[in-house]
Amino acid sequence: MAEHVTARTAPAAARRKVHLRVQRIRPAYQQIADELRTQIVSGQIGSGDRLPSEPELGKAFGVGRGTIREALRVLASQNLIETRRGATGGSFVSAPDPERTVAALGASLGILVDTPRLRLEDLLEARLLLEPMAARLAAERADAETVSAVVAAAESQREPLDPKSYSEHFDFHATILMATGNLMFTMMGQPVADVLRTRLHRAEVVKSSEWDQANESHRVIAEHIAAGEPAAAEQEMRTHLNDLRSLYQRAGSW
């Protein structure tokens, strides 16, 4: 008599679990935002162009008005569109703006650094990797006009009657990032500097002598860049940032 194979007596190979590859479907509003973003970035929809109305977009994508509104909110949060009210209002395409992107990144980092996910030490470490190389590239690439801007930023003095005037210090670092001629250096480094600037302003832990030391370091870095000395500029920037570490740590624990 033939044996009947049951689930209990079936070979182990026949009872193996099937692993399904489930592809997660993205929400409709996200797919629509992705499509519109692609068209904006590629230039198919130009800066200043007015997007179709919400009902028109809903008809084109086959979705409801609420889904379109969510998609437009995503694009607005990425500074790709702006909404104007009134008879001539609507959603208009904005030109991608590096400054707005940097500001948005700085705001996001400022929130994260107050959580366990991102520590102040993480920002300091990232800056120590980025800015010395920026100083090196500035010394290698900066033209006469850019060198003049670096030197002017280094010579800009803090207002002695305002001990909280930190802008000159950070302006120098921003100028170094821009002097690389590589926009990514500014977009990566400036948000970090913005968070650190806010920390110092809140903590009020900087002594006048520490600013004097920082100003002197800036002057030396600028001299190396002006002289076209990449290795010296990189090393001096690294030394400068290491000297500042304790200052930021005090501010972080305030």
Q: Which of 177, 43, 167 is nearest to 98 (CA)?
A: 177
Measured CA to CA in angstroms, residue 98 lies from 29, 36, 122, 190 at distances of: 25, 19, 23, 11
* Selected residue with higher pLDDT from 244 and 230: 230
- Express as a percent the part of the chain with pLDDT over 90: 45
Mean pLDDT of 69-81: 91
The pLDDT of residue 137 is 97
Same topology for domains 28-93 and 99-252, yes or no? no
pLDDT at position 224: 97
> What pLDDT does 6 receive?
52
Architecture of domain 28-93: Orthogonal Bundle (1.10)
Task: Tell me what pLDDT residue 148 has.
Answer: 94
Distance of CA 62 to the CA centre of its chain: 35
Residue 92 near residue 113, CB atoms below 8 Å: no
Band of residue 1 on the pLDDT scale cut at 50, 70, 90:
very low
Write the CATH number of the domain with boundaries 99-252.
1.20.120.530
Cβ atoms of residues 241 and 128 within 8 Å: yes
Evaluate if residue 159 carries a pLDDT over 60. no
Reading the block at residue 200, the tokens are: 């110092």
Domain coordinates of the chain in residue numbers?
Answer: 28-93, 99-252
Average pLDDT over residues 154-165: 61
Q: What is the pLDDT of residues 28-45, one digit of tens each?
A: 999 999 999 999 888 899
The mean pLDDT of the chain is 83
Residue 65 scores a pLDDT above 90: yes
Lowest mean pLDDT among 16-25, 82-91, 129-138: 16-25
